Every structure is written in structure tokens, then in C-alpha cells.
Amino acid sequence: MLIIQRAAERYNGGDPAAGIDTWHAFAFAGFYDPDNLRFGSLTACNEEILAPGAGFAEHPHRDTEIVSWVLEGELRHEDSAGRSELVRAGDLQWLSAGSGVRHVERNAGPGTLRFLQMWLLPAKSGGEPGHRVVRRPLGEGGRRAGDGAAMARCPVPGADAVLHLWRPAPGGGPGPELPAAPWCYLHVARGGVSLVAPERPEGVRLAAGDAARVAPVGGSADPHPARLEQTEPGTELLVWEMHSTPGPPS
């Protein structure tokens, strides 16, 4: 199964008067779509664009794994456990809500803040909340492929999932190999990449904001044969590798 979602097909929400512009890949708040509630354990992939000083007042979460990747600007995180963290461009933040946590998120920088925030259902409910920031996983100290591409592997064990971040070598090049998993979710943060699959043998170009949902047909244990080919210089993309989903498969 291959489903392509173009950037313009997402639900546009937020609060423009408060300096918040949000693009939702899944049903969210006032945007209800019974056919787009989740994919695997992923229930949200929101692109948040916040003006200086804008943000989300204190609000609660529980039984949710929340991962945020800051693309531009500075995100200030404060929570009910007393943590206060500045998450800068290139950083990755993980918040495990567990049995319950309250937090505040706001733009702490002088310019626009843009980040991707993703929510996953945990394999088990409850537990102690947790928090971690990974500084610039695609930075100079990160892993490199043989062709010079930057890559990062970030497990989220509470959701039986792994987040892969990837940037090609300068000048572009072939895309990364998709993980062998029952559910793979690809989102292009910057640039563009070509995807080839049995459903699209001619290939399809994915641009910034576009996403692809990849899964074997009929519950097969074999990985989907989709592959990523040529990428543009400066491309950054993420791939979720998910191995379980609460309830019936999505």
C-alpha cells in the first residue's frame, strides 16, 4: 500500500490572530476525518509555524509519545516536572506523557519558529513521564553514510517505533533505504526526493511538506518494495519505522 499526501492536502489550522499557523497531516481537533485518524501508531504530524512570542499555553497530555524536530528558530519547552529547555534549530525533543504531564511551548527567538511535532500512541498506557533533547542529530558529530549523507536513528521504545532523520551529501544523491517495517511514514521537511514503488513505477516526486505512507498489502510480513531515489541538495526528511499499532491495524 502506498498513499501520497501532498502538502496542500493537509488540514490548515492554528490561530492566525495569535501568530500560529498549523498544517495537520491527520485528523486533529476541529478537523475530523474517520479515514485519517492514524497510520500505525502515528496519530499526528503537525507542521507548526509560530511568530515571535507566539505559542501554546499550558495544556495537558497523557498516554502520548510526542516528538518535535525544530527546523528553524528556537522552541521553549516548560513542563509540570519543572523542566525548562530551549530547543534550537536542528534539535530533536522527545516527551513521553505517561500518566500525565502539562507543558508550555512557545517561540523564544526573534524570528519565525518552524517545527514538526509528531504524536504516537504508546504500546502501554500509564508510567512516569519522560523528557529528552538530542542536540543536532544531523550535525557534524552525527553518523555519516559511505556517500557522506548525514543520518540519525532515534528509537521511541514506548511506541515500538524508530525515527530516522536523513540529509544527503552536498550536491544531493540517492535517498536512504526504507526500513523493513509494517508501517513506514515518510515526510519531506526540506527539498525533494523521488519515490519509486510498484504502485508508481514511473516514480513520484515528493517536495517539502509532502508525505508517503507505506505498508505491505494484506498484513504481509514482507517489507514494501518502495525505494527512494534521487534527492535534491539540501533535502531533509524523516522516516518513521513502526512495528505495532494499538487496536486494529490502520
Question: Which residues have C-beta within 8 Å of that of residue 32, sequence separation ≥ 6?
Answer: none
Has residue 240 got a pLDDT over 50?
yes
Has residue 168 got a pLDDT over 60?
yes
Radius of gyration of the chain (CA): 17
Helix (H, G, I), strand (E, B) or coil at 158: helix
Has residue 140 got a pLDDT over 80?
no
Has residue 250 got a pLDDT over 50?
no
Has residue 249 got a pLDDT over 60?
no
* pLDDT tens digit sequence for 64-83: 999 999 999 999 999 998 89
Q: Which amino acid is at 106?
A: R
Lowest mean pLDDT among 48-57, 94-103, 215-224: 215-224
Please give the distance of CA 246 from its chain centroid, rounded to a whole number.
19
- The ranges of the chain annotated as CATH 2.60.120.10 are 11-134, 143-242
Cell numbers 517561540: residue: 107
C-alpha–C-alpha distance, residues 98 and 138, integer Å:
28
Has residue 107 got a pLDDT over 70?
yes
C-alpha cell at 32: 475530523
Task: Note the CATH number of domain 11-134.
Answer: 2.60.120.10
Confidence of residue 29 (pLDDT cuts 50, 70, 90): confident
Q: Which pLDDT value is given to residue 172?
A: 86
Has residue 238 got a pLDDT over 70?
yes
C-alpha–C-alpha distance, residues 93 and 211, integer Å:
21
Asked if 163 and 219 count as a contact pair (C-beta separation under 8 A), the reply is no
C-alpha–C-alpha distance, residues 175 and 165, integer Å:
12
Q: Which pLDDT value is given to residue 221?
A: 57
Quote the mean pLDDT of the chain: 92
C-alpha cell at 53: 512570542
In this structure, how many other beta carbons lie within 10 angstroms of the beta carbon of residue 65? 26
Asked if 120 and 159 count as a contact pair (C-beta separation under 8 A), the reply is yes
Fold (topology level) of 143-242: Jelly Rolls (2.60.120)
Q: Which pLDDT value is given to residue 173?
A: 84
